[in-house]
């Protein structure tokens, strides 16, 4: 050891000593300023620019689910699904499923995509109206409510008691979706789950059906917002292409339901997909398009703020979270 080394080490020791002294001072100050632990603090909205539009993602909350398999990968072995989640820094046997409606303000109209869970589905969800208000809107300012499909976490917030939650809105939904859930076959179904779903559609969608426009793929909600048929998750599930001044974002709703499982393993079966094969085809179609076009996407169950990009990796994909691209 040279004397230089010695001096360097000694200097480090001295610096170390003063850091330790500062540390004990900080401990003392910290003790005087103690505050109660407050629990996790979720963020409930995020606003970005898309050409002349503003896109605000608004949190309805999340569901804490005590399993991953068989919700994701129910055509896989449970231990393989758990190991794959863990390899991606996620718990193997539990998950949080977020719910993220989207508001697009075109400058002329305020359009809300999906309405969250509504009341009565647990303390961690059903917060949409509160999030809308924190984001600087009121429920009365929503001009158009678009429903991507009629699952409970998307239609649950349509009604507030026996009144529409968005009093001044008109509505847009898929024709195939409405026809399926209101069909005589499903109304007469003996399947308990179907009976529950039909009851919910009758309670939440039917009261506003008179103010609803039913569309197919390729049709516009307003200029710049066009439906894309992505059937499979439900029989009439719609995604949307949102475009302003040459900038584009794809809102894929539930075509992909988990940022790791759905993107990296698009062929894993998802228990919520009503037609597994059609859902896989739709998932691959939308992911391939978003990856090839290098446009941002918003997915209802992607990690908040539910904005990101998709990178193609062989036959699979990877979710790349948005950082500041749409802020500039």
Question: For binding to Zn ion (CB under 5 A), which residues are involved?
Answer: 153, 254
| In the complex, least distance from residue 273 CB atom to Zn ion, rounded to whole angstroms | 11
| In the complex, least distance from residue 67 CB atom to Zn ion, rounded to whole angstroms | 17
For Zn ion, the closer CB: 53 or 259? 259
| In the complex, least distance from residue 280 CB atom to Zn ion, rounded to whole angstroms | 17
328/321 Cα distance (integer angstroms): 16
For Zn ion, the closer CB: 106 or 257? 257
| In the complex, least distance from residue 153 CB atom to Zn ion, rounded to whole angstroms | 4
For Zn ion, the closer CB: 48 or 255? 255
For Zn ion, the closer CB: 254 or 273? 254
Quick one: tokens of 129?
A: 């109206």
For Zn ion, the closer CB: 114 or 243? 114
Q: Around 46, how many Cα atoms within 13 Å sit in the side-chain half-sphere? A: 17
Q: Is omega for the bond preceding 70 within 30 degrees of 0, making it cis?
A: yes
For Zn ion, the closer CB: 153 or 273? 153
| In the complex, least distance from residue 224 CB atom to Zn ion, rounded to whole angstroms | 24
- Pure H helices in the chain: 3-32, 78-87, 128-134, 152-155, 175-181, 184-187, 192-204, 261-264, 276-293
Beta strand pairing status for 238-244 and 247-253?
A: antiparallel
| In the complex, least distance from residue 246 CB atom to Zn ion, rounded to whole angstroms | 30
| In the complex, least distance from residue 98 CB atom to Zn ion, rounded to whole angstroms | 10
For Zn ion, the closer CB: 224 or 250? 250
Q: How far is CA 265 from CA 73, 248, 312, 316, in A?
A: 8, 26, 12, 6
148/164 Cα distance (integer angstroms): 18
| In the complex, least distance from residue 29 CB atom to Zn ion, rounded to whole angstroms | 47
For Zn ion, the closer CB: 224 or 299? 299
Q: How far is CA 145 from CA 62, 159, 209, 273, 286, in A?
A: 21, 12, 12, 23, 22
Following DSSP, what letter does each residue of 69-132 receive, concatenated?
TTTB-TTS-HHHHHHHHHHTTS-SS-EEEEE--EEEE-SS-EEEE-----TTS-TTB--HHHHH
């Amino acid at each position: 050891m040279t004397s230089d080394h010695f001096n360097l080490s000694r200097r480090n020791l001295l610096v170390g000593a003063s850091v330790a002294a500062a540390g004990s001072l900080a401990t003392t100050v910290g003790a005087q300023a103690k505050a109660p632990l407050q629990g996790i603090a979720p963020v409930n909205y995020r606003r970005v620019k898309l050409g002349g539009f503003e896109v605000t993602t608004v949190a309805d909350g999340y569901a804490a689910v005590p399993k991953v398999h068989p919700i994701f990968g129910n055509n896989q072995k449970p231990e393989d699904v758990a190991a794959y989640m863990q390899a991606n820094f996620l718990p193997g046997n539990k998950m949080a499923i977020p719910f993220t409606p989207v508001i697009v303000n075109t400058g002329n109209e305020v359009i809300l995509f999906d309405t969250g869970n509504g009341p009565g589905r647990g303390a961690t969800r059903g917060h949409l109206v509160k999030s809308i208000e924190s984001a600087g809107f009121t429920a009365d300012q929503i001009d158009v409510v678009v429903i991507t499909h009629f699952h409970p976490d998307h239609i649950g917030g349509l009604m507030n008691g026996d009144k529409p939650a968005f009093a001044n809105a008109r509505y847009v939904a898929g024709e195939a979706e409405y026809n399926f859930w209101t069909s005589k076959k499903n109304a007469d179904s003996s399947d308990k789950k179907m009976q529950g779903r039909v009851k919910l559609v009758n309670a939440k969608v039917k009261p506003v059906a008179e103010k609803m426009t039913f569309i197919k793929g390729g049709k516009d909600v307003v200029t710049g917002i066009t439906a894309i048929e992505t059937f499979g998750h439900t029989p009439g599930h719609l995604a949307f292409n949102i475009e302003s001044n040459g900038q584009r974002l794809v809102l894929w709703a539930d075509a992909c339901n988990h940022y790791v499982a759905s993107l990296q393993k698009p062929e894993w079966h998802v228990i919520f997909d009503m037609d597994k094969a059609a859902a896989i085809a739709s998932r691959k179609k939308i992911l391939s398009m978003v990856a090839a076009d290098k446009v941002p996407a918003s997915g209802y169950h992607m990690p908040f703020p539910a904005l990101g990009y998709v990178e193609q990796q062989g036959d699979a994909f990877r979710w790349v979270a948005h950082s500041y691209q749409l802020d500039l």
